[in-house]
Amino acid sequence: MDARQLEYFLAIVEHGGFSRAAAALHVAQPSLSQAMANLEADLGVALFHRVGRGVVLSGAGAELLEPSRRVLRDLTAVRDTAAALAGLHGGTVEIATMPSPGIEPLTTLIHRFGELHPTVTVSTQAAFTPDEVVSLVRSGACELGLLGSASPVDPPGLNVLHMEEQPFVVVAAPGGVFEDDVPIRPEDLAGQKLIASRTGSLMRNIVDGVTAGGADTQIVTVVDHRTSILPLVLTGVGVAVLPSSWTSLARRCGALVAPIEPTAHLHVAMVSLPAHLTPAARAFLAVTRSLAVGGLGARQPVPQGDAQRPV
């Protein structure tokens, strides 16, 4: 067994088949097939079931996923550690992130990390629930996970760095009943047209709780992609209840942001495995920890002259 065989194995899984993996790896498919046949012979188990012209991961193959990712990551860590003797140079840190924390604090974290380690690439993978983030970290697909939840999380077997609590705000187009930075009560949303995520999602559950006291609140648009929310707000389709992480971006685009009092909070945390982190991941976690301790509220404010200017 060698690292190349494990790399081929993971590529077949991630690309959904031998031909796509061969193309992505820039190797001939017969060479890839032979490497997998040799690996299966060495291990004494079948890693894939051949179904027609495709393949399906076997039970043994599924069990090999996490150890394979860990072995390749550890080999990368050896190379990175050698390079780190003269400072952190190159490499990639992989982070699973949910949509709202993916705006903030991720933007601030990447900005600060990039200043300290400009040659390291930050790669993010989308996740839409805390469980998805935890699963991606546990499986080794990502080293770090940034999540937001209705209450603090404590997943077994993972380290948790609690970062901040984001209150919810109303984001609206100019010219309506709300004023920028003027607090409102949940009942003030009565009669408003609301843009919300799908029923059952964390965001929708929190929105339903915030608006529970308001009569006649009408959900006019249900969206799966959070990136659709702000454009819909700006075109006057309705208002949205979002975590305060959206505040700076919303104002830069010309929207108004009104705090809700009282409101629920999104609990933002970074999760990681207690071991097997590459130097790049450890460095990113150190930046995260320093910002969490120092207070993420000290982000650069939006210049007043740009507050209502679309970008």
CA distance 54 to 176: 56
8 A C-beta contact, residue 251 and residue 305: no
Indicate whether 74 pLDDT > 90: no
Q: For 220-268, what is each residue's pLDDT tens digit?
A: 999 988 889 999 999 999 999 999 999 999 999 999 999 999 888 999 9
* Per-residue pLDDT, 297: 47
pTM > 0.85: yes or no:
no
Q: For 116-134, what is each residue's pLDDT tens digit?
A: 999 899 999 999 889 999 9
CA distance 244 to 259: 8
Can you read off the two tokens belonging to residue 301? 């404010």
The beta strand positions in the chain, using DSSP E, are 48-51, 54-57, 92-97, 121-126, 144-149, 159-172, 193-197, 218-223, 239-243, 256-259, 265-272
* Per-residue pLDDT, 305: 38
CA distance 25 to 19: 10
Q: For 165-177, what is each residue's pLDDT tens digit?
A: 999 999 999 999 9
- Cβ neighbors of 242 (< 8 A, separation 6 or more) are 100, 168, 169, 171, 203, 229, 250
Q: 97-117 in b/e burial notation, b at 16+ Cβ within 10 A? A: bbbbbbbbbbebbbebbeeeb
Can you read off the two tokens belonging to residue 186? 């949940």
* Per-residue pLDDT, 215: 54
